Amino acid sequence: MLALCLALRLQYAAGRQAARQADQVATLFAANMHWVFRELSDACIKRAWADFAVHRRVLQEVLAQGREVSLQQIDGSGLAMVTSLRAMAVEGLEMVASHTPQGDWHQLHRYFEKRLPSIAGWLALYGHPPENSGPTDYQGLRTSFGQFG
């Protein structure tokens, strides 16, 4: 009987730990989404093709990070946040995929600016409002991307 109780307690503790880790990854995903959308918006304002190309590639990495969030381990609001942000990242990738240096920078800037408040709202709802200045690097992502195209 004692062994069964101990096994149940260990299983419960492991489940709580997995849920905490999933929450942390979800929050990190949201923070990185906010950061990369802001950086893409800034690149559009400046019409800075090199910055845009780098951040377009990083958006792919951010989406990959978001896909690593275990949806079974997060609660209702976290699930809604991750699902919404994944959809937003996919849509963002579709928007940037065909953009060229001669493309409509203003329209793309408006696209990113319009979505930043939603991402910030998710972060605030989840207890982590974005920093005003933002992180100086992507948190939790690989830093070596190879050749940029």
pLDDT in tens, 90-125: 999 999 999 999 999 999 999 999 999 999 988 888
Task: State how far the Cα of 94 lies from the Cα of 89, in Å rounded to an integer.
Answer: 9
Task: State how far the Cα of 60 lies from the Cα of 64, in Å rounded to an integer.
Answer: 6
Task: State how far the Cα of 135 lies from the Cα of 122, in Å rounded to an integer.
Answer: 17
pLDDT tops 50 at residue 126: yes
Q: In terms of pLDDT, which residue wins out, 119 or 5?
A: 119
> How many other CB atoms sit within 10 Å of the CB of residue 4?
8
pLDDT tens string 44-57: 999 999 999 999 99
Task: State how far the Cα of 46 lies from the Cα of 48, in Å rounded to an integer.
Answer: 5
Mean pLDDT in the chain?
A: 81
pLDDT at 95: 93
Q: Flag whether the pTM goes above 0.85.
A: no
pLDDT tops 70 at residue 144: no
Tokens, residue 25: 């990854």
Task: State how far the Cα of 43 lies from the Cα of 57, in Å rounded to an integer.
Answer: 13
Task: State how far the Cα of 89 lies from the Cα of 67, in Å rounded to an integer.
Answer: 10
